[in-house]
């Protein structure tokens, strides 16, 4: 063993003391460097592992998806949509678009402590629009919901010249002027002139029809409005009502 590498130091002046072997300063430095490199390698490995673990948790979206938003109201300016609550969600993202791929969507963010509804701006009458929804939870964003298809109804006019043609003790027939764009007509009959109670609805595909099973000697009120049948919502006013008195049998 070289003297440069090792040195012997007596711990006490007692001749019976065992000598203690100490490493030279060169050996100490080498060992410190090795230990330091090992600690740094372990630390770097832990950082990489923890980062990968964190990403694997936050980057994976929850497997749930909200119910599709429902159209509560629609007109030529906007559509009001509402949706059901998602457990654990603190915000919602509603997207509306004129194309089904949502390439340039209108996005509305709604906080969970607000009413779960929002309006999408619609532009063209008769054009289809699309809406979808996702929720944000502590685990990340959910998947997008199913797509809701909306279409602005062609605005229909109120039927004119609604009139009763024939009346018997149990049946009545009526007619009105045809409305351009109408696919079906809805006629309401009631014993209440405000059409709040005892309302019976019949539908007709032409601009005339009849109603049966009336009670003899009773007063009835009738009114009509035009409707679409292509999954659009059209707020069309009813016509003025007409009243009749069925003859006693």
**E-only strand ranges, the chain:** 6-9, 20-23, 70-74, 78-82, 89-97, 106-111, 117-121, 128-137, 140-141, 148-151, 163-167, 172-175, 184-190, 199-204, 208-211, 219-227, 242-245
pLDDT of residue 144: 95
pLDDT of residue 64: 80
pLDDT of residue 233: 47
CA distance 140 to 143: 10
CA distance 5 to 26: 8
Sign of CA dihedral 37, 39, 45, 48: negative
Q: What is the pLDDT of residues 153-182, one digit of tens each?
A: 667 889 999 999 999 999 999 999 999 888
CA distance 10 to 15: 9
In three-state secondary structure terms, 165 is strand
pLDDT of residue 110: 92
Chain-centroid distance, C-alpha 222? 39
Q: What is the pLDDT of residues 35-78, one digit of tens each?
A: 777 666 666 665 555 554 444 444 444 568 899 999 887 776 78
CA distance 129 to 98: 5
CA distance 241 to 159: 11
Q: Which residues of the chain have pLDDT under 70?
A: 1-30, 38-63, 76, 122-123, 153-154, 229-235
pTM equals 0.44
- Strand 106-111 and strand 117-121: the pairing is unpaired
């Amino acid at each position: 063993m070289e003297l440069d590498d090792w040195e012997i130091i007596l711990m006490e002046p007692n001749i019976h003391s065992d000598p203690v072997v100490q490493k030279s300063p060169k050996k100490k430095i080498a060992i410190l460097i090795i230990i330091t490199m090992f600690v740094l390698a372990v630390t770097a490995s832990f950082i990489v592992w923890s980062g990968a673990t964190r990403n694997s948790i936050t980057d994976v979206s929850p497997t749930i998806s909200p119910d599709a938003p429902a159209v509560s109201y629609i007109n030529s300016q906007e559509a009001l949509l509402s949706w059901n609550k998602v457990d654990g969600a603190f915000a919602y993202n509603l997207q509306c678009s004129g194309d089904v791929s949502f390439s340039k969507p209108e996005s509305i963010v709604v906080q969970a402590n607000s009413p779960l509804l929002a309006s999408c701006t619609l532009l063209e009458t008769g054009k289809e629009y699309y809406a979808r929804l996702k929720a944000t939870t502590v685990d990340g964003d959910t998947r997008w919901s199913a797509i809701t298809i909306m279409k602005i109804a062609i605005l229909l006019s109120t039927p004119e010249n609604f009139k009763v043609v024939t009346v018997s003790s149990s049946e009545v027939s009526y007619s009105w002027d045809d409305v351009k764009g109408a696919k079906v007509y809805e006629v309401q009959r009631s014993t209440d002139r405000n059409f709040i109670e005892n309302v019976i609805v019949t539908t007709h595909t032409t601009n005339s029809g009849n109603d049966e099973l009336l009670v003899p000697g009773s007063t009835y009120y009738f009114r009509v409005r035009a409707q679409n049948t292509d999954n659009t919502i059209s707020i069309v006013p009813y016509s003025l009502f007409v009243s009749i008195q069925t003859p006693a049998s």
